[in-house]
Structure 1
């Protein structure tokens, strides 16, 4: 599950690049670029939503004692710049599909191998927040939660492990 989770989190975190490519496709009147980029964005969104629902319902949960936590939104600027980066190669990306494909694939590999999930706009649209947390053993990890977490006192978090260092906070009602 670790590799699938890593891939889906990565793919959905870079899907907004597709919005930039859709914009380029509209401006350059390149319908193939609009439709392929839209398809990738939608597929990424649907896949990550399905995965989060599946993980919540079917994966075994555990409890983590979180010692420290802070919002993990420092990366927003870097992601935003990455989303706009295709504008630098507007002519080449619009004229040859290979450039757009290379850009997408390069970005997926970079983020996938960096294990950088501190911000994901698609998951954020669903109401999730990202936190940099540390457990009682001193190990740091990313905690994804729908809850705004402001108090850690006398609290264990029910979580599902998505990757080695990424956990989804489960809110059972």
Structure 2
């Protein structure tokens, strides 16, 4: 589950690159670029959303005591620049879809293996918030939650492990 979760979280976090590629396709009248990009974005969103639902309702829960917590929104500018980067190669990307595929897969590979996906606009649209947290053992991780967390004192959080350093804060399910 760890590798699949990492891949799906990464793919959905960079899916907005597909919006840039759709824009390039529209401007350069490249219907195939628009179609491939839209399909990729939709599949990335759907698979990640499915992962979150599966994790919330099917995976085993554990508990975390959190010693420090802060919003994980420092990466927004870096991601935004990554989303717009394909505009630099507008002509080549519009003429050969292989360039767009290479860019997307390179970004996917880099972010996936760096485990640097503290920002995910698709999940944010669904109400998820991202936090940089540290537990009572001193280990840092990303906590994804539907809740705005402002107080961690004397609380134990129910979580589901998505990757080695990413946890989903879960709600009570009956």
Corresponding residue number in structure 2 for 1:150 = 150
Q: How much does 1:45 deviate?
A: 0.5
Q: How far apart, CA to CA, are the structure 2 residues paired with 1:102 and 1:154?
A: 48
Match in the other structure for 2:38: 38
Question: TM-score, with normalisation over the residues of structure 1?
Answer: 0.99
- Whether 2:63 is the aligned partner of 1:66: answer no
Q: Report the Cα distance in structure 1 between the residues aligned to 2:81 and 2:117, rounded to whole angstroms.
A: 16
SS of alignment partner, residue 160 of structure 1: strand
Q: Quote the offset at 1:161 in angstroms.
A: 0.3
Match of 2:116 in 1: 116
Matched residue, 1:48: 48
Q: Which residue of 2 aligns with 1:140?
A: 140
Q: Residues of 2 paired with 1:52 and 1:71: CA distance?
A: 20
The alpha carbon displacement at 1:117 in A equals: 1.7
Match of 1:85 in 2: 85
Unaligned residue ranges in structure 1 (runs of 5+):
none
What is the TM-score with the length of structure 2 in the denominator? 0.98
Question: In structure 1, how many angstroms separate the alpha carbons of the residues matched to 2:117 and 2:137?
Answer: 21
Give, in angstroms, the shift of residue 126 of structure 1. Answer: 0.5
SS at match of 1:105: helix
For residue 70 of structure 2, give the secondary structure of its aligned residue in structure 1: strand
Distance (whole Å) between structure 1 residues aligned to residue 105 and residue 118 of structure 2: 20
Q: Distance in 2 between matches of 1:98 and 1:25?
A: 13
| Structure 2: stretches of 5+ with no match in the other structure | none
- Size of the alignment, in residue pairs? 173
Alpha-carbon distance between aligned partners in 1 of 2:160 and 2:128, rounded to the nearest angstrom: 14
Residues 125-156 of structure 1 show CA distances to partners (whole Å, capped at 9, x for unaligned) of 10000000000000000000010000011100
In 1, the alpha carbon distance for the partners of 2:68 and 2:122 equals 25
